[in-house]
Amino acid sequence: MPLGEIVSVNRSLNYVILRCIILPSTGEVLKVYHGPVAVAELEIEQVAPGSCAAARILKGYPAKGDLVRRIQPRSESTDESGRMADGR
């Protein structure tokens, strides 16, 4: 489920404004999707009362209208390859 949508992009200052369905936390890293394709990553810098947040562009090229989702945390029981910590 999308966390929100990008409503404004300021490339010269390297940030976006989000309209959020669910407010993220300051410092949270989010992925940006254009359709099914991940196109950018953002870091939340400020959350405003109501439904808006400002985020710094970490990488990629977000655009107005793109959807924002939380990055799914990797399970603590798996390593980077997806294997179980006990080697399975």
CATH of the domain at 66: 2.40.10.170
Residue 48 forms part of a structural domain = yes
Q: How far apart are CA 4 and CA 88, in angstroms?
A: 37
Residue 14 forms part of a structural domain = yes
Question: What's the structural domain count of the chain?
Answer: 1
Range of the domain at 56: 4-70
The confidence score (pLDDT) of residue 72 equals: 67
Q: Which residue has the higher pLDDT, 66 or 76?
A: 66
Residue 22 forms part of a structural domain = yes
Radius of gyration from C-alpha coordinates of the chain: 15
Residue 32 forms part of a structural domain = yes
Sign of CA dihedral 57, 60, 65, 66: negative
Residue 84 forms part of a structural domain = no
The confidence score (pLDDT) of residue 73 equals: 58
Residue 10 forms part of a structural domain = yes
The confidence score (pLDDT) of residue 1 equals: 80
Is the pLDDT at 85 greater than 50? The verdict is no
Residue 86 forms part of a structural domain = no
Q: CB of 61 within 8 A of CB of 40? A: yes
Q: Which residue has the higher pLDDT, 30 or 76?
A: 30
The confidence score (pLDDT) of residue 71 equals: 85
Q: What is the pLDDT of residues 7-53, one digit of tens each?
A: 999 999 999 999 999 999 999 999 999 999 999 999 999 999 889 99
Residue 15 forms part of a structural domain = yes
Q: Please compute the mean of the pLDDT values over residues 46-63 and round it to a whole number.
A: 95
